[in-house]
């Protein structure tokens, strides 16, 4: 018996099954073709991505920002490439499974799944190719909303206030916000962190403008600072009236969402007169934030919100004080911890006092020293009322703690300079030297003493170090110093300080009669027409009165005690008749950076001068013979860039005649000379100078103006004998081809090849035939290098000159301390250095007119943990060749293009 089974199906079902089978089989049958196509199309996709990225890199070099759509596409390409590469690598293994001429597989399910994925990936690649057509790949990157300002980490106790003010700025409707509190409490620090927070946190504001107002309120200065930020610049705009500038500022700012930060307001600022649109019901998108010491100013400024920047809590004050004193001192005696907490209470939570006194106590490791300190603090604090009772006695503690009266006098002297003024250390020491603070010390001893005092004042936080050669006085500390001279020791000190006060007329001379030190520095005084009677006047500062044209003849005749007279940067000034009246008293005369063309014969009577500063009197070509030699007590003579513009026009009766050879003969007779800055007009004059051991030991700065000189080779080794040479300028050496130095001789004579240890600043200009400046490898402390207009210079440092002595280069760190490198108009320059350098301290590199310079001595290590600015033209930057892509990426953000 048998059974018959019959299966029936309609044609449509059969066809669907057949299609499904054939479709799946196609993934197997076409696997080889699809893999080949995937590899080909992937190559096309990568080529397209590379084309797009080249356009992106070019745009980013021009400070543009890639579009988000481009970035998303690039990310998708990278992802697809990773997956496709894996399929291509696995393909050979799957192909080996195929049989029956590629129509079947030993593992049909595995081959089917793999073939299906390959086919899908091929479609993805082709889709990305079609999508990778971009007319525009980048747009102009927006300017930074705010300019980052330097600051230490957030001061202890301010973080919560920072967050509170920030919320008020970005979330609330308050338009004008006032931050008030006593001097030294941290208002500027808080405002700085607010400014910098705009760089970290996204907001709807277009720009943040920072303006320092200070005690001397000048609307013009506020307008200039605002103008710089919003693009209102140029001489034509600066020459407009306050009213016209206000209109321009208003037109620009009313279209913007801005934040105006005003630091250190002492009185109401009329924002309408400045041109600032007032925040309010009709202008809710803009803000004004200011700091002030007085709550009344918040009222006069009609603030919407005010915040008191208060002194620190006991906990925060103790934390800050501990940080400044240091654990080593606090643990050096078991009683000190308890005594230190008493000191903290005496400071009343004032951050500036805590920091200042904390640092002053940092090395006092005996309990008795702390007990005496507490007694002094308490005695001073109970001595004065009013403002002095709250602030200045705490600051005065550091003043009282200075070693002696000389150091204290040197400190008070600094208040003669304007607020926020960068004071050159050597200039300040010249003043102290001339004023007799160092007794009968020679200039070298006075210099050492002066730098020690400056170091003491910086460590005591009574001065701030701006650069290695510059300090400034915090405005609160300066106010305290003036307060000391006027209130505490007014009978002994007798200071009259009106520096930076915006004066157009000098104070009445009747008020000068009992004054010992007078500063009218940095004003707009035009004339000094009265003849004052000043029997006690020792110091007179008239510097930076650039409008000053006339000083009355006989102005100095009743100043029998005057020791220090400073009249630098008075560009329109002609020296008055009657300066010879100062002959017996004057010790320091500073008329630097003026446009005077000659010195009068009567200055020969200044026989007791110890210091004469004529730096950058470039128009000066007439200095009468015997004028300098008559000042037989000169210890400091500064003649850097003196007369260099007219050096070769000097008349025969001038010591500048003959390129400086006559001057050198006079200098040889100066018995006490120890500091010399000199301008010479020929290499021959330099050789005469170098024949004198006395003068060689004095040279600090040297300006060689070689117009008409025929020397083609200068032996730079001769500079090695100038042990104190700090500054070297070589100008207009038309025939100069080489600054030669015998490297093997240096190595033979010296244990270490550093022959220019003191050389910090070098400028070489208009030496068209000079090929390199290789001698600078032996200047390990070089801080700035400026090369300009040297048409034949191909290398800064020539490798070829070390071919015979390569072993000596191993322990020389070239340009290790370089901070500034400026290269300008060097059309043949191809190399700065033959291999990458770390540039540990570099702040700025500027390259202009150096079209053959295609590679900088940089690699990724040159940017480790720090950035410096590179300035130049975009066309030059775009042609640069880089060590590798990592280096290019590392320095992309450093470039700031010139317009």
| pLDDT per position as a tens digit, 453-476 | 998 888 776 888 888 889 998 876
Residues 824 and 851 in one domain: yes
pLDDT at 382: 34
Asked if residue 475 belongs to a domain, the reply is yes
Residue 78 burial (CB < 10 Å; 0-12/13-18/19+)? exposed
3-class SS of residue 836 = coil
Asked if residue 725 belongs to a domain, the reply is yes
pLDDT at 385: 30
Q: What is the mean pLDDT of residues 521-534?
A: 95
Query: Cα(584)–Cα(247) distance, rounded to whole angstroms?
Result: 56
pLDDT at 749: 60
Q: At what angle do helices 68-95 and 31-61 cross, to 10 degrees?
A: 150
Q: What is the mean pLDDT of residues 656-679?
A: 92
E-assigned strand segments in 543-692? 550-551, 564-566, 588-590, 611-613, 636-638, 675-680
Q: What is the mean pLDDT of residues 854-879?
A: 85
Please say if the pLDDT value at position 307 is more than 80. yes
Please say if the pLDDT value at position 804 is more than 70. no
Please say if the pLDDT value at position 646 is more than 70. yes
Q: What is the mean pLDDT of residues 858-868?
A: 74
Distances (CA, A) of 576 to 551, 552, 593, 603: 6, 6, 17, 11
Please say if the pLDDT value at position 537 is more than 90. yes
Residues 174 and 228 in one domain: yes
Asked if residue 680 belongs to a domain, the reply is no
pLDDT at 139: 76
State the average pLDDT for the chain: 85
Asked if residue 754 belongs to a domain, the reply is yes
Residues 768 and 857 in one domain: yes
Higher pLDDT, 800 or 212: 212
Query: Cα(416)–Cα(209) distance, rounded to whole angstroms?
Result: 30
Write out the residue range of the structural domain in which residue 277 sits.
159-308
CATH number, domain of 199, equals 3.40.50.300
Please say if the pLDDT value at position 8 is more than 50. no
Query: Cα(461)–Cα(474) distance, rounded to whole angstroms?
Result: 9
Query: Cα(659)–Cα(650) distance, rounded to whole angstroms?
Result: 9
Query: Cα(180)–Cα(310) distance, rounded to whole angstroms?
Result: 8
User: Using a CB cutoff of 8 Å and minimum separation of 24, what contacts does 628-632 make?
Assistant: 628/655, 628/663, 628/666, 628/667, 628/670, 629/666, 629/667, 629/669, 629/670, 630/604, 630/605, 630/606, 631/606, 631/607, 631/670, 632/607, 632/669, 632/670, 632/671, 632/672
Cβ–Cβ under 8 Å, residues 614 and 592 = yes
Query: pLDDT class for 821, splitting at 50, 70, 90?
Result: very high
Tens-digit pLDDT profile for residues 596-630: 999 999 999 999 999 999 999 999 989 999 999 99
Q: What is the mean pLDDT of residues 70-90?
A: 87
pLDDT at 352: 79
Residues 74 and 180 in one domain: no
Residues 250 and 173 in one domain: yes
Asked if residue 163 belongs to a domain, the reply is yes
The model's pTM: 0.66
3-class SS of residue 862 = helix
Asked if residue 772 belongs to a domain, the reply is yes
Token pair recorded at residue 725? 């040479």
Higher pLDDT, 667 or 812: 667
At which of 308, 343, 367 does a domain end? 308
Residues 129 and 177 in one domain: no
Phi, psi of 224 (to 5 degrees): -65, -45
Q: Which residues of 863-898 are buried (b: 16+ CB within 10 A; e: fewer)?
A: beeeebebbbbeebbeebebbeeebbebbeeebebe
Q: What is the mean pLDDT of residues 851-865?
A: 83
CATH number, domain of 792, equals 3.80.10
**Residues 6+ positions from 68 with CB-CB distance below 8 Å:** none
Residues 721 and 809 in one domain: yes
**Shortest CA distance to 680 belongs to which of 654, 700, 657?**
657
H runs (alpha helix) in 682-820: 683-690, 693-696, 743-749
Please say if the pLDDT value at position 747 is more than 70. no
At which of 308, 323, 355 does a domain end? 308
Higher pLDDT, 827 or 354: 827
Residues 178 and 132 in one domain: no
| Cα-Cα-Cα-Cα dihedral sign, residues 635, 574, 509, 581 | positive
Tens-digit pLDDT profile for residues 102-147: 557 666 777 777 888 888 888 888 998 888 888 888 876 566 788 8
Residues 715 and 841 in one domain: yes
Residues 105 and 168 in one domain: no
Residue identified by tokens 């000389």 is 406
Asked if residue 573 belongs to a domain, the reply is no
pLDDT at 233: 80
At which of 428, 461, 493 does a domain end? 493
Residues 251 and 224 in one domain: yes
Tens-digit pLDDT profile for residues 749-792: 655 556 788 999 999 999 999 999 998 988 989 999 999 999 99
Q: What percent of the chain has pLDDT over 70?
A: 88
pLDDT at 65: 77
Spatial strand order in the sheet of 464-467: 423-424, 470-472, 464-467
Query: Cα(259)–Cα(249) distance, rounded to whole angstroms?
Result: 14
Query: pLDDT class for 374, splitting at 50, 70, 90?
Result: confident
pLDDT at 339: 92
DSSP designation for 137 = -
Asked if residue 668 belongs to a domain, the reply is no
Query: Cα(377)–Cα(372) distance, rounded to whole angstroms?
Result: 9
3-class SS of residue 199 = helix
Q: Please state the domain count of the chain.
A: 4
Residues 173 and 37 in one domain: no
3-class SS of residue 551 = strand
CATH number, domain of 442, equals 1.10.10.10
Query: Cα(695)–Cα(302) distance, rounded to whole angstroms?
Result: 65
Cβ–Cβ under 8 Å, residues 412 and 432 = no
């Amino acid at each position: 018996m048998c059974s018959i089974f019959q299966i029936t199906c309609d044609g449509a079902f059969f066809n669907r099954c057949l299609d499904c089978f054939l479709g799946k089989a196609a993934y197997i049958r076409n696997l080889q073709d699809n893999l080949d196509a995937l590899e080909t199309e992937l190559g096309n996709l990568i080529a397209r991505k590379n084309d797009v990225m080249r356009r992106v890199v070019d745009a980013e070099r021009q400070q543009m920002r890639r579009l988000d759509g481009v970035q998303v596409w690039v990310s998708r390409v990278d992802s697809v490439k990773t997956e496709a590469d894996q399929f291509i690598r696995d393909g050979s293994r799957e192909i080996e499974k195929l049989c029956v001429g590629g129509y079947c597989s030993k593992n049909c399910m595995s081959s089917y799944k793999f073939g299906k994925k390959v086919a899908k990936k091929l479609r993805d690649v082709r889709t990305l190719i079609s999508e990778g057509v971009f007319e525009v790949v980048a747009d102009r990157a927006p300017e930074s909303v705010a300019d980052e300002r330097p600051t230490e980490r957030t001061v202890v106790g301010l973080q919560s206030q920072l967050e509170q003010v920030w919320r008020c700025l970005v979330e609330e409707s308050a338009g004008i916000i006032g931050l008030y509190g006593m001097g030294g409490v941290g208002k500027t620090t808080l405002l700085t962190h607010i400014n910098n927070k705009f760089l970290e946190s996204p907001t709807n504001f277009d720009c943040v403008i920072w303006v320092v107002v200070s005690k001397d309120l000048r609307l013009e200065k506020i307008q200039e600072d605002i103008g710089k930020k919003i693009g209102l610049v140029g001489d034509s705009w600066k020459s407009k009236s306050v009213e016209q500038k206000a209109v321009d500022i208003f037109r620009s700012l009313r279209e913007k969402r801005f934040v105006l930060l005003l630091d250190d307001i002492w009185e109401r600022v009329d924002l309408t007169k400045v041109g600032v649109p007032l925040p309010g019901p009709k202008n809710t998108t803009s803000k004004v934030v200011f700091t002030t010491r007085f709550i009344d100013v918040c009222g006069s400024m009609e603030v919407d919100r005010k915040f008191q920047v208060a002194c620190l809590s006991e906990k925060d004050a103790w934390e800050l004080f501990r940080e400044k004193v240091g654990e080593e001192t606090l643990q050096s005696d078991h009683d000190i911890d308890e005594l230190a907490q008493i000191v903290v209470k005496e400071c009343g939570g004032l951050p500036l006092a805590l920091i200042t006194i904390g640092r002053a106590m940092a090395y006092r490791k005996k309990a008795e020293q702390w007990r005496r300190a507490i007694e002094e603090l308490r005695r001073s604090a109970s001595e004065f009322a009013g403002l002095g009772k709250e602030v200045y006695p705490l600051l005065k503690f550091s003043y009282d703690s200075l070693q002696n009266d000389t150091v204290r006098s040197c400190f008070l002297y600094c208040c003669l300079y304007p607020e926020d003024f960068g004071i050159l250390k050597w200039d300040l020491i010249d003043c102290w030297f001339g004023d007799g603070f160092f007794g009968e010390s020679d200039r070298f001893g006075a210099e050492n003493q002066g730098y020690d005092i400056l170091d003491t004042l910086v460590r005591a936080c009574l001065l701030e170090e701006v650069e290695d050669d510059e300090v400034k006085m915090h405005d609160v500390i300066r106010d305290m110093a003036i307060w000391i001279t006027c209130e505490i020791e007014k009978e002994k000190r007798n200071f009259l300080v009106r520096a930076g006060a915006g004066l157009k007329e000098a104070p009445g001379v009747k008020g000068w009669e009992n004054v010992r030190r007078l500063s009218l520095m940095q004003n707009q005084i035009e004339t000094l027409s009265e003849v004052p009677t000043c029997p006690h006047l020792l110091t007179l500062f008239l510097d930076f009165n650039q409008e000053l044209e006339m000083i009355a003849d006989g102005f100095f005749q009743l100043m029998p005690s005057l020791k220090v007279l400073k009249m630098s940067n008075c560009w329109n000034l002609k020296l008055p008749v009657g300066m010879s009246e100062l002959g017996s008293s004057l010790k320091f005369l500073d008329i630097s950076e003026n446009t005077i063309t000659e010195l009068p014969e009567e200055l020969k009577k200044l026989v007791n001068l110890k210091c004469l500063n004529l730096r950058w009197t470039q128009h000066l070509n007439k200095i009468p013979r015997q004028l300098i030699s008559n000042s037989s007590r000169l210890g400091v003579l500064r003649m850097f860039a003196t007369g260099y513009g007219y050096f070769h026009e000097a008349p025969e009766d001038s010591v500048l005649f003959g390129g400086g050879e006559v001057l050198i003969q006079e200098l040889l007779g100066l018995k006490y000379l120890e500091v010399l800055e000199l301008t010479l007009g020929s290499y021959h004059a330099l050789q005469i100078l170098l024949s004198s051991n006395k003068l060689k030991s004095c040279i600090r700065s040297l300006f060689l103006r070689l117009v008409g000189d025929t020397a083609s080779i200068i032996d730079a080794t001769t500079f090695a004998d100038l042990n104190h040479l700090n500054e070297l300028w070589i100008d207009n050496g038309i025939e100069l081809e080489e600054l030669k130095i015998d490297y093997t001789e240096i190595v033979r004579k010296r244990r270490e090849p550093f022959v220019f240890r003191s050389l910090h600043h070098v400028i070489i200009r208009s030496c068209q035939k000079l090929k390199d400046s290789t001698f600078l490898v032996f200047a390990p402390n070089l801080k700035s290098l400026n090369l300009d207009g040297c048409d034949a210079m191909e290398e800064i440092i020539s490798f070829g000159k070390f071919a015979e002595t390569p072993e000596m280069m191993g322990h020389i760190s070239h340009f290790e301390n370089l901070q500034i490198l400026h290269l300008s108009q060097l059309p043949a320059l191809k190399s700065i250095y033959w291999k990458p350098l770390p540039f540990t301290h570099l702040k700025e590199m500027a390259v202009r007119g150096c079209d053959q310079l295609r590679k900088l001595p940089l690699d990724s290590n040159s940017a480790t943990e720090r950035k410096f600015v590179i300035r130049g033209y975009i066309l030059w930057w775009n042609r640069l060749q880089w060590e590798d892509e990592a280096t290019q990426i590392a320095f992309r953000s450093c470039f700031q293009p010139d317009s």
